[in-house]
Structure 1
Amino acid sequence: MKKLLVIFTLALCLGCTQEKTTTKGDTEWQKEMNSDFKDASKSPLKAKDLKAFEGLDFFKFDSTYVVKAVLKKTPDSEWFKMKTTTSRESEERVFGILSFELKGQKFQLNVYQGKDLMTTEGYEDYLFLPFLDDTNGDATYGGGRYIDLRIPEGDEIEIDFNKAYNPYCAYNEKYSCPIVPRVNYLSTEVEAGVKAFEKH
């Protein structure tokens, strides 16, 4: 009887481990992204894509894509209406210009601040970094990608291109996504972050 009980318990435990699937991803950020995409209450995926979803496709983490940038703030910049993929316009301003070196090349990107988010709890210090690069339309989403940043205390800010993600409209056209301003084009291949998504 005891032997039977042991076999039964073992069978139950095997069932447990098979049911519990681990979230894919090499880094905590990648795992968090996949976890959010799997969660129907947060996921931007369409029902048919969610059903087949196993994980986003990421470039392998590469520390050369973690760069220190100098932030030159532009406190007098005017608010403007940033175009989106729908008729909605997002009220933004250039918070500053980021200067950095990537793979031996010098680059500059505008970093933006949204008027609505400034008064949203938890996002008061949020900065928006949209960018285009030479992988767009091939290895990555054609419309460019985004990086989330926070206002630093000094004039230096870390940009981790391994955390570059697709706008939600890359997965579902019902979303309204800011269109990356042409000025934020990087003339290099940024092989880091989330790759293009193949819809089912």
Structure 2
Amino acid sequence: MPKNKFLLVGLFLAVLAVLYFSFFDGGNIASSAADDAINPKTYRQQVGDERKKKNEFFRTSAESPITDKANFKGLIYFAPDPAYRVVARLEPFADKTQKLVVRMSDGSEEVYDKYAHAVFSLNGEACRLLVVKLQDTYSVLFRDATSNKETYGGGRYLELDPAKLTDNHAVVDFNAAYNPYCAYNPTYACPIPPAENTLPIAIRAGERYVPHD
């Protein structure tokens, strides 16, 4: 009888251990997701405010890519959707010196540091995106199933917030995905997303695009 009792206790502790490590996923993803929980209403308001600021910048700034500012009606977007703000597991490169040569829209090249792969699930699909680093900016250059249809054919970009970036996880917010300046002004040279950063799913979040004459 004591042997059976110890066996049951051992099994119980083993189950607890499995649940513990499954919850934390070895990279603290579950706890990170809880820590990064947001209020959907407040979040949508914040996204809307940021978009208003960007429209004002495009309308008034000398650094805006818009040439005909008098007729600029504002950028178009998908509605803010918290479902497209995900906590991704990061898979850093063991070799921190790896580089990625990115082709630019004008035929030139730019060299980025390979930082990590961001791994996450979205719309029921497993996704993996390369995160690159240039100076102190961590970026994802990507295409998805909306590219050249609802969004810019050359792909879109998003930056990762360093405040929500650790060695093993990052917040990837597609509501902040934006078109490169060359989408609005061909005189700009813009990085072309690497082939591996083409997602098979439609990311209906962030900036949309309507070709102009």
Using structure 1 for the length normalisation, give the TM-score: 0.77
Deviation for aligned residue 1:28: 2.2
Equivalence for 1:199: 212
Unaligned runs of 5+ in 1: 1-24, 119-123
In the alignment, which residue of structure 1 is the partner of 2:79?
Answer: 60
1:87 aligned residue (107, 119, 139)? 107
1:10 matched to which residue of 2?
Answer: none
Report if the CA contact (8 A) 1:171-1:197 is conserved.
Answer: no
1:149 aligned partner: 160
CA contact (8 A) 2:92 2:167 kept: no
1:97 — aligned with what?
A: 117
Question: Pairwise CA RMSD of aligned residues?
Answer: 1.7
Matches within 5 A, 1:45-56: 45-46=66-67, 48=68, 50-56=69-75
Structure (1/2) with the larger helix percentage: 2
Q: How does 1:99-114 map to 2 (within 5 A)?
A: 99-114=119-134
Alignment of 1:1-200 (within 5 A): 27-46=48-67, 48=68, 50-76=69-95, 77-114=97-134, 118=135, 124=136, 126-151=137-162, 152-199=165-212
TM-aligned CA deviation for residue 75 of structure 1: 4.3
Q: How many residues align?
A: 165
Deviation, structure 1 residue 155: 1.3
Specify every segment of 5 or more residues in structure 2 that has no aligned partner in the other structure, as ranges. 1-45
CA drift at 1:154: 3.8
Maintained 8 Å contact 1:59/1:194: yes
CA contact (8 A) 2:139 2:158 kept: yes
Whole-Å separation in 2 of the counterparts to 1:33 and 1:66: 20
Structure 2 CA distance for aligned equivalents of residues 84 and 148 of structure 1: 18
Over the matched positions of the two proteins, sequence identity in percent amounts to 32
CA shift at 1:69, angstroms?
A: 0.2
